[in-house]
Structure formats: C-alpha cells, structure tokens
Amino acid sequence: MRFTVAIDGPAASGKGTIARALAARFGFAHLDTGLLYRATGLRAAEAGIDPAAAAASLREADLARPDLRGAEAAEAASRVAALPEVRDALLVFQRNFAAREGGAVLDGRDIGTVICPDAEVKIFVVASPEERARRRHAEFVAAGDPRTLAEVAEDLRIRDERDAGRAAAPLKPGAGARLLDTTEMSIDAAVAQAARWINEQLPEA
C-alpha cells in the first residue's frame, strides 16, 4: 500500500513531533525534509561548494549528523532552501521516499504544495508566534543555548518572512490541506486529531 501524509508548517509549530508520532502510530516511514536542507547547507558551507552541488551529492549518512538540530544548521537550511536549484536537486529524493510501499509521512514546508500535491492527507500545522518562540526557547535552554526569548522570537520572525516570501515554493497550505492550530493543544490532542483525518482516508482493510 502506498499512502502519503504531507505535513507542513513554520518552525516550532509542532509539525515534526506530530509527524514522528503519526508515523509510529500507523507504521509509516518518516522523513523530516528539513534535515535535507540542513545537511545541504552545512555541507555547502564546510566544503566550500555550491549549495546545488551539495544537494545533488547528499548521502543518506549525511542525515545522521548529530549537529543537524542546532541553530547553525537551521540558519543554513533557511538560506539554501530559498534556492530553486537546491529544491530541484532534492525533489526526486523526497518523491521517491513518499512513494514507498507501506506508507510515508513527510514533514517540511512545501510537501503538500510541491513535493506531494496529491498526498492522501495534507495537514498544515500552525501556532501563534508567541507560543512558537516559547517552545523553541525552551529547547535552547535545555541545550544550554544562551539566547533570550526575544532573540529567539526575532529569529523565527525573520525565518517566517524568508520562508513565506521566497519565490521558490513559499510556505503556504496545499490545496485541500487541513489546518491544525496547536497553540493551545497538547501533543497528544494534536496527534489524535491528525490521526482521525488519516483514518478517514485510509483504504478499507
């Protein structure tokens, strides 16, 4: 069975946590597509090569780097993700993943609009800027990052503007996407709602 769940949304909206939980619940494969751009950005910077070349030569092992969740990788990803040639280079990788047997959940910023516009389920996850900043700041505090809440909020604002305003695959809901506002929802509640939408579309056994 091939069944694709596309989950999009801005940083710290909860899309990644929800996607991982859904994949585990339904036994689907999961791909955090943001890691592709983080790995590409870091590789381009470290090797001193063109971002498109870094994307084209990306290896699966590159997605296992322990520093991909850090702030440097996030900033690098946001920069290279605006480049059409980078997005084109990573398109086939993502579509092949989505088409695998057994089902797949992909989360990112253009899954429902560009990568998998025909996904069986499309979900756009949002949360208020204040709540997203609070969540991201809590992650940084836990990791020993000294940035203030105000600094984190400003970083998110800049990333939002860049992601929504870029010419290549701007951040927006795909046609027919379900809106999931997690501002005042627990993770369990958000996952349960998303699971109901998936169950509505799953073929009968």
12 annotated binding-site participant: yes
Between the two ends of the chain, the Cα-to-Cα distance in Å is 10
- 196's CB contacts (< 8 A; 6+ apart) are none
Q: Which string of DSSP letters, residue by residue, matches 12-74?
A: TSSHHHHHHHHHHHHT-EEEETHHHHHHHHHHHHHHT--HHHHHHT--GGGGG-TTTTSHHHH
**Is the pLDDT assigned to residue 205 strictly greater than 70?**
no
For 113-138, the pLDDT digits (tens) are 999 999 999 999 999 999 999 999 99
108 annotated binding-site participant: no
For 176-198, the pLDDT digits (tens) are 999 999 999 999 999 999 999 99
Average pLDDT, the chain: 93
11 annotated binding-site participant: yes
Structural domains of the chain, with CATH = 4-200 (3.40.50.300)
Share of the chain above pLDDT 70, in %: 100
- The segment with the largest mean pLDDT, out of 5-19, 58-72, 73-87, is 5-19
The arithmetic mean of pLDDT across residues 90-99, rounded, is: 93
112 annotated binding-site participant: no
More confidently predicted of 71 and 50: 50
9 annotated binding-site participant: yes
